[in-house]
Amino acid sequence: MKNLLLDLVLTITGIGAASGLVYKDEHLYLISDNSRYLYDFSISEHLLSKIQLDQNTDQLENIIKAKKPDFEAITFDRDQFYIYGSGSTSNRNLRLSYQKYVQQEDFTPIYQRLQQRFAVDQDNFNIEGVIHTDDEIWLFNRGNAEKAQNGIFKIDKLDPEQSSFHPISLPHLDHVQTAFTDAILVDDTVYFIAAAEDSKSNYLDGEVAGTILGKFKRNDFSSLETITLPGKHKFEGITLKEKTEKTISFFLCEDRDDDKTETNIYSLIMDH
């Protein structure tokens, strides 16, 4: 990975604490960790609309930390969006799917089974990214708690009882452990981002030292390589913008851990 170009390209007003995004048909679809909306931003029209994900509550945005659903991972698979709660507390275990309407699924049994089977306890369990392959769901655990258990849970789509966990060793930035914040699959390569946040908790925020970009071949974790992105940003979402013969470009969203209801979108272009 070389010749990185990182630029701020958009500021979207009306979304705070952005935690994931999908680029599709000139639209950016975003989630927020303190909201119960799926946000749809039309790039050409510069227009934001909202899709309500929960019809049973009046509190839809700027939800307090103790009660927020903590939607941290989003992907698009077979004409549907899938949105995952982080699982970092007992009220953050929903998986939602959306096509023309929203379906909710309680992922508590699956999250609990993963924790028990692979010795990742509640204090160290924090799902921040997701990839759907043809036959598996990959959940990226953010290892910023005491044990720093960065890794990937793989779940068989047809038989969720069939699962595995693959620990991933990630570097430090300024003596702070980096930890997964999102990931995508492009052809046979996984691209991920991991932020260095000085916190030993899967619940509390800390000072940010920056974010790395990493990649590895889908079936070869040993091929992993990383590069540090410019600045001290806490990037929480990555989505593919375009791939050409020589370059690949992404959109990234930033969570600044403040109370502003605006989200910065960056463009990242690099050789591949």
Q: What is the pLDDT of residues 15-29, one digit of tens each?
A: 988 999 999 999 999
- Give backbone dihedrals phi and psi of 67, rounded to 5 degrees, phi first: -115, -5
Question: Residue 259 — pLDDT band, cuts 50, 70, 90?
Answer: confident
Q: What's the pLDDT tens digit per position in 18-65?
A: 999 999 999 999 999 999 999 999 999 999 999 999 887 778 898 998
Task: State which amino acid sits at residue 132.
Answer: H
Residue 55 tokens, joined? 């019809």
What is d(CA 253, CA 162) in angstroms, rounded to the nearest whole number?
Answer: 33
- pLDDT at position 46 is 96
- pLDDT at position 198 is 82
CATH number at residue 132: 2.120.10.100
| Overall average pLDDT of the 73-98 stretch | 96
Q: How many domains does the chain have?
A: 1
Q: Spell out the SS3 assignment of the chain.
A: CEEEEEEEEEEEECCCCEEEEEEECCEEEEEECCCCEEEEEECCCCEEEEEECCCCCCCCCCCCCCCCCCEEEEEEECCEEEEEECCCCCCCCEEEEECCCEEEEECHHHHHHHHHHCCCCHHHCCEEEEEECCCEEEEEECCCCCCCCCEEEEEECCCCCCEEEEECCCCEECCEEEEEEEEEEECCEEEEEEEEEECCCCCCCCEEEEEEEEEEECCEEEEEEEEECCCCCCEEEEEEEEECCCEEEEEEEECCCCCCCEEEEEEEEEEC
- pLDDT at position 172 is 94
Q: Is the pLDDT of residue 188 over 80?
A: yes
Question: Residue 241 — pLDDT band, cuts 50, 70, 90?
Answer: very high
Question: Residue 182 — pLDDT band, cuts 50, 70, 90?
Answer: very high
Give the domain range for residue 155: 2-271
| 75-89, 99-113, 188-202: least confident range | 188-202
Q: Is the pLDDT of residue 202 over 60?
A: no
Q: Is the pLDDT of residue 1 over 90?
A: no
Q: What's the pLDDT tens digit per position in 133-153?
A: 999 999 999 987 678 899 999
- pLDDT at position 236 is 96
Contact by Cβ (8 Å): 37, 49: no
Mean residue pLDDT across the chain: 93
255 vs 85, 156, 198, 229, CA distance in Å?
16, 31, 15, 15
From 153, 91, 92, select the one nearest 120 (Cα to Cα): 153
Q: Is the pLDDT of residue 193 over 70?
A: yes
What is d(CA 212, CA 169) in angstroms, rounded to the nearest whole number?
Answer: 13
- The CA R_g of the chain, rounded to the nearest whole Å, is 17
* Contacts (Cβ under 8 Å, ≥6 apart) of 202: 86, 88, 123, 124, 125, 126, 142, 144, 145
What is d(CA 189, CA 219) in angstroms, rounded to the nearest whole number?
Answer: 9
* Contacts (Cβ under 8 Å, ≥6 apart) of 24: 76
Residue 258 tokens, joined? 């403040």
- pLDDT at position 13 is 95
Residue 271 tokens, joined? 């050789």
